[in-house]
Amino acid sequence: MATAVVSAPFIGWQKVCALLAGVILILAFIPYFIAIVKGETKPSKASWIVWASLDIVAFAGMLMKGSLNYMIGAAVICATTTVFFSFKYGAPGWTTLEKFCIAGAAIGFIILAINPLLSIYISLILLFVGAFPTFSHAWKDPSREDKFAWTLFWLSCVFGLLGTTIWDTAHAGQPIVFFIIESTMMYILYIRARSLKSATS
Q: For position 200, what pLDDT does the model report?
A: 73
Residue 190 predicted with pLDDT over 90: yes
Buried-exposed string 111-150: b where 16+ CB fall within 10 A, e elsewhere: bbeeebbebbbbbbebbebbbbbbbebbbeebebbbbebb
Q: What pTM was computed for the model?
A: 0.76
- Least Cα distance to 105 among 32, 156, 49, 42 occurs for 49
Question: Has residue 2 got a pLDDT over 60?
Answer: no
Q: What is the pLDDT of residues 5-29, one digit of tens each?
A: 333 444 588 889 989 999 999 998 9
Q: What is the mean pLDDT of the chain?
A: 81
pLDDT band at 101 (very low <50, low <70, confident <90, very high): low
Residue range 82-94: mean pLDDT, rounded: 80
